[in-house]
Amino acid sequence: MLKGQDSRFDLVIFDWDGTLMDSLAQIVRSVKLAALDLGVPEPTDAAARDIIGLGLPEAMQVLFPQVPEAEREALRQRYAHHFVAGVGGHSQPYVGAEALLQQLSGAGRQLAVATGKSRAGLNRVLAHTGWSSYFHATRCADETASKPNPLMLKELLLELRVPLERAVMIGDTHYDLEMAQRLGMASIGVSYGVHSGERLAEHGPLAICQDMSELTAVLATV
């Protein structure tokens, strides 16, 4: 449910993994395979899920603090290899995601992406989905600061010339919502991705949606 008064947002900023794309299992699998390749202890599934949303260097530092930086670079390379290879199956958009993008775009909203993916990774999945035309701007963690630093949101607002109060951030992790909270931007959480609704609620989102249909309904009112 929405809290407070309805408002109109001209710019809707989406996280990617766990928000528009059901890629969580593929990310966890790729992290564990990278660890296996380098002979370092595999993180648990829960630990690997918890770093989703961070930039890859930051994620590897959290998961493998005992590993020297040179080896963490090798881990990042092996992770990227396995993710692109899609061992065990490639990611798929959540059901209803493209319909939501079409609806928002048709209503004249500007759309953007703020993601922990690399630029090469985002470009690859945008090409695969054919969704590039929906988004007016995108920011990736390897070309700006990683979440929860709000720099990528500041850059999107500046590029698109949208006032802070006219934008909303949508994401499935506390990194997404903390990033928005630090900037004073409105946010909407989705609990079908990485983090629970209880954890997302700590950052004061306007709403927490349990599925894509609920997110679609909420966005129709703001």
**pLDDT tens-place string over residues 157-183:** 999 999 999 999 999 999 999 999 999
Could you tell me which of 28, 49, 21 has the C-alpha nearest to residue 125? 21
User: Per residue in 41-98, pLDDT tens?
Assistant: 999 999 999 989 888 889 999 999 999 988 889 999 999 899 888 765 678 999 999 9
Q: What local confidence, expressed as pLDDT, does residue 69 receive?
A: 85
Q: What local confidence, expressed as pLDDT, does residue 64 receive?
A: 93
Q: What local confidence, expressed as pLDDT, does residue 87 receive?
A: 63
User: Would you list the domain boundaries of the chain?
Assistant: 11-23+92-219, 24-85
Catalytic residues: 15, 17
Q: What local confidence, expressed as pLDDT, does residue 188 receive?
A: 98
Residues 6+ apart with CB under 8 A from 71: 38, 40, 64
Give the domain 24-85 fold: DNA polymerase; domain 1 (1.10.150)
Q: What local confidence, expressed as pLDDT, does residue 4 receive?
A: 37
Is 144 a residue whose pLDDT tops 70? Answer: yes
Q: What local confidence, expressed as pLDDT, does residue 7 receive?
A: 53
∠ CA 213-7-196, rounded to 5° = 45
In CATH terms, are 11-23+92-219 and 24-85 the same topology?
A: no
User: Per residue in 5-26, pLDDT tens?
Assistant: 445 799 999 999 999 999 899 9
Is 221 a residue whose pLDDT tops 60? Answer: yes
User: Per residue in 115-133, pLDDT tens?
Assistant: 999 898 899 899 989 999 9
Q: The domain 11-23+92-219 is classified under which CATH number: 3.30.300.30, 3.40.50.1000, 3.40.50.720, 3.40.1160.10?
A: 3.40.50.1000
Q: Which residue has the tokens 């954890």?
A: 199
Is 2 a residue whose pLDDT tops 70? Answer: no
